[in-house]
Structures are given as C-alpha cells and as structure tokens.
Structure 1
C-alpha cells in the first residue's frame, strides 16, 4: 500500500508510485482513462516528492479517474465514496485533488494545467472587478471617532522672488511691513510693497476693494519687556470681492503660512483676519497678541442649612432620637 496504517475500502485501488516526477502514473494503468474504450473507474493516490513534503513525507495527490464510457451508476458510486476514501486515508496527508476522464487529464502536463487553473484569478467582468475593488477599499478605510482625514491641503501658489526676499528681510528685521497679493491669472503670490509702516498707518494699508496678505513687525512692551512680534493680517473686505477671489485667498492662506514658518523659519506670533482696516488700533493689536487672562471664578458654593434645626420631619425616627439608647 505504501502508507502503513491506512484502512481503505475493498473496491478502492491505491497506486504508490515513488518516481512521480518522471513517470507520473503507472504506465500499465494508462487504460484507466484511455480513449480506447476502457471502462475502469478508480481512486488513485500518488505519493508526492519534495515539493509536497510536509515533514512526514506522506503528502499525496488523490485522483478520481473515470472513463467517459463508464456507467453513470458506477461514476456516482465512486464520487459518493471519495470523501470516505479521503477520511480513511487521512485528509491531512492529501495535498490536492483532481478529476480526469481522459489520459491527458491525469498526466504531468494535465496536473500542471490543474495547478495553474486553481491559482489563476477568477474570471470577472469589468463591472465585477470594479465592485471587488470598491469592497477592498471599504475594508481598508479607517473610520472612527478619532480618525481625521484632511481632504484638501489648500492651494500652493508659488512666491515670487521679490516676495521671498522681502520675507527674508522681515526675518532679519530690516523692514517692518510686507503686503502680498494673488495674481489670479498667473496663479502666483506677488509683492505689493514694503513701505515703512507704524501702527497708526496700518488702517491706510488695508485696501477697501480687494483682499491682501500683510506681515507686520509689531514693536511693543509687555510686562516691562520690549518685544518685536510678527503679526500676520488677512484682510478681506466682505462681499466687495468676487467669489473666486474670496475662495482663492482663503485656500492659499494656510499653505502660505506653512511656507513662511517652515521654509523661512519665521515665527508668527498672531494670525488675524479682518474685513475693515479701522479695526487695526494699538489696543486691538495688543489684546490680540497678549489676550487677557480670565479671572478665576469661584465655583458655586452650596449654602449651609439653617442652624439648630433638624430639617423636615420624618415618619420613621432614627435610634436615639427619642432620648433612648440604641
């Protein structure tokens, strides 16, 4: 038998062929599935070599060979007893199964075709492939309370060379004011001017009909210390600008600030958004840069109950309330 300890039915035929790689099946049993009128149906078990070895040396291939001329009743009988043969032989030792009706099906090339067919992807239509990809993406999608996915990073219009030089000069404190604008046609960030500006001049720098980006070096004193803080001001004069201009200025703002802080290493103390230049006063800037700390508010204290009274009368008195010892 080749496999000790196996109890197989009497009508099952077991073929133990060690030289599986070269001869595949016994040449003497080729009429099992031959086209020359053979009417034999058999269960064939073939011992595998190193490619199938599982450590015990007992991995095998089971083949159900049935000629096309065999009676249907006999085919059904062998098909029904296939599970019993596998169970008695030991399902853990069986590597693969195949079914053949002609000689080519149980040859080495036939088994290779069987293996390639099993490993090939399922034949799917374009619609089925698209649905399968959608399901894969749904499984990989991370959705939870803590998950955050930013859909749009913002637009990144390039800074012109003169604008970059102005930012470097502001970092070195050679200038104290920069005004930038968007060129909507060329999609760039251009420099408007770097005129010396004091706090009283800031309202005059804010255009009334277009949006602008402003960088202002705010020189002031706080708690006895002299400070020079860079303040970013985004001015948008309400609905006087077109929708396209409002959207582009709003989308480019975050990327511009990231570029200034990361690439130019310019620390921005405060970011302010205004719609009217009249808001820019000395008091307003000071409160924005140094907001007031909220005074400590004492939590609500529960009022004490009346002194000398025991509260509402109870139907059931506790022990000792009548002057008796408990």
Structure 2
C-alpha cells in the first residue's frame, strides 16, 4: 500500500476498523504526529496537511546556507527536527569532492543536502548547485518519511528566501546509492536524447555492484 492510497482510505472512514500491519503503521504514524507535531496534522486529511509543511530553518543552518551562497563552504547537510518542528544544521564542509559525499551522507537517516559542484566540462568552467534528498530504502520510520517529504518544498523556498539559494539540479538517493564525479556530470550535462522528468529514474547499471543514484527532480 502506498502513502497516497492509505490517505484516501483513512479520509473515507471515521472508524479505522480492522487494519493490516502496514495500515496500522501508517495510522500510528498519523496519530503520533497529532501529538509530537500538532501543527502538521489537524482535522483535515493526511495529504491536505502533509503535502506542504513548513518548519522554520534555525539560525545555524541559515548561516551555513549563506556561506554556501558566498562560496565559503561547498556542502551543507540539514535534518528535520520533529521535536522542535524546525530544520536544523547537521554539518557543513569547506571543500569536499563528489566521492567524499558518500562519507558524509548518512545511510540510516533521511537528510537534506546542498552541494556546490564546481567542475570543468568541454573546456568550460561550471558552478552547479545540487540539492540532494537522501532517504534510506529501509530503517527509518514512516513518520520520518512523511515529514521529510512534506517539508522539502517549503524548505527549498526558505533556503531561497534566507540565502538566495536556488538549486540547478535536484536529485534523490537511497542508502545503497553512491555519488561520483561522473554521475554528477551526467546530471549536469545530460546527453541530448535524455529527457528530464520530476523524480525520474534513469536506467541502472548493467552489472552488479554498488548502486548509483537513480532519481532526479526537475
């Protein structure tokens, strides 16, 4: 069952009645949000309230985002703080390579990331800003998935307002996917025949081994 299907089911029933284990998990996450994040869930349906949830960006995070805008750092990692209903700073780096992103991106927790990808392509210099949304394929709660998904767009608007940051590329990865110079080059300079889609999945590697990033956004 998808989150959207569960939301339609929940909104159509006053009494949840018998539920499968997965339905119970969705329902419990919804009920927990009423207690831990009351501003997120009200009397409306889950989708109506979770489709776009604004959590303010804390001051430390804003400061590092401004440093990113000023080219003082090239990487900023942020997390959704469900207890305080805010987006907070996790870490920032002055200068890391695409391959080093794999060392700082958590494999067990969802996160937001901004990465400035300065590179050369066809003898020209480029400075591309990536927004990376990392979501483990397993291990995190449905509550975390709901909040990170619903806070993403308002957070990007807040980053634009606070630091004038507007990403050139937005991608989504899971815990098994790795980033590299070649992968970021592919996203920044796609082949002419490739059509970009929101959260599209390009073909995966033909051979077994480390998985590569599979989702792109806009």
Question: Which structure is higher in RCO with an 8 Å CA cutoff and minimum separation 6?
Answer: 2
Q: Is the 8 A contact 2:62 2:162 kept in 1?
A: no
1:252 and 2:151 equivalent? yes
1:291 and 2:190 equivalent? yes
Moved more, 163-172 or 272-281: 272-281
| Aligned pairs (5 A) from 1:70-89 | none
Q: Distance in 1 between matches of 2:105 and 2:148?
A: 15
| Aligned pairs (5 A) from 1:35-184 | 151=48, 154-184=52-82
Q: Distance in 2 between matches of 1:193 and 1:264?
A: 17
**Which 4+ residue blocks in structure 1 deviate beyond 6 angstroms?**
none
Q: CA deviation digits over 1:86-111, x for unaligned, max 9?
A: xxxxxxxxxxxxxxxxxxxxxxxxxx
Q: Quote the residue 1:204 is aligned against.
A: 103
Q: What is the TM-score when the length of structure 1 is the normalising length? A: 0.43
Q: Distance in 1 between matches of 2:52 and 2:75?
A: 25
The runs of 5 or more residues in structure 1 that have no matched partner are 1-149, 296-326
Q: Distance in 2 between matches of 1:278 and 1:242?
A: 19
Q: CA deviation digits over 1:284-317, x for unaligned, max 9?
A: 111111111019xxxxxxxxxxxxxxxxxxxxxx
- RMSD in angstroms over aligned alpha carbons? 1.8
1:189 and 2:92 equivalent? no
CA drift at 1:166: 0.6
Q: Distance in 2 between matches of 1:234 and 1:276?
A: 11
Query: For 1:207, what is the secondary structure of its paired residue?
Result: coil
The runs of 5 or more residues in structure 2 that have no matched partner are 1-46, 195-218
CA drift at 1:261: 2.5
Q: Quote the residue 1:6 is aligned against.
A: none
Q: Is the 8 A contact 1:204 1:277 kept in 2?
A: no
Q: Distance in 2 between matches of 1:246 and 1:236?
A: 8
Q: Quote the residue 2:112 is aligned against.
A: 213
- Whichever of the two has the greater Rg, that structure is 1
Q: Distance in 1 between matches of 2:58 and 2:176?
A: 26
CA drift at 1:263: 4.4
Q: What is the TM-score when the length of structure 2 is the normalising length? A: 0.63
Q: Distance in 1 between matches of 2:118 and 2:151?
A: 27
